[in-house]
Amino acid sequence: MSFNSQFHYNSRENIAKKLKRDKERGAFAYGKPADIITHEFGHLMLKGLPEQTIHKLEAYYQTNKNDLEQISRYAKTNFREMFAESFLQYRNTQASPRAREILKIAGIIE
């Protein structure tokens, strides 16, 4: 994984500024560089889930895709980003009821 130096990510200071701004406007659930790692780890976890669970998450996304603001706007992109953003929110910040619901479907929390 790497940061694209052509796009805000040309210094540690600019990365921190961009992430903070993105989080404040609700675009992403992450606000620190380490949060990106957690988000990407969420993608890996999703790949390891049973197929039946992945189908349940896809169905959940189809039903709720316009109501994922509690997590982030990026979570509305597709069910994979919905899951990665939910995982990040749960792991690194205060998980919203919506994120907790998604992680319950995934069997990650009770």
Residues that bind Zn ion (CB under 5 A): 81, 84
Residue type, 78: N
> Of all residues in this chain, which one has the CB nearest to Zn ion in the complex?
84
- For the record, the structure tokens of 20 come out as 């903070």
Closest CB to Zn ion among residues 35, 81: 81
Q: How far is the CB of 80 from Zn ion (least distance, A)?
A: 7
Q: How far is the CB of 60 from Zn ion (least distance, A)?
A: 17
Closest CB to Zn ion among residues 86, 96: 86
- For the record, the structure tokens of 7 come out as 């796009």
> CB-hemisphere CA count at 13 Å for 8?
10
Rg (CA), the chain: 14
- For the record, the structure tokens of 57 come out as 């998450």
Pairs from 17-24 (Cβ < 8 Å, separation ≥ 24): none
Q: How far is the CB of 36 from Zn ion (least distance, A)?
A: 9
Q: How far is the CB of 3 from Zn ion (least distance, A)?
A: 14
Measured distance CA(33)–CA(30) in Å, rounded = 8
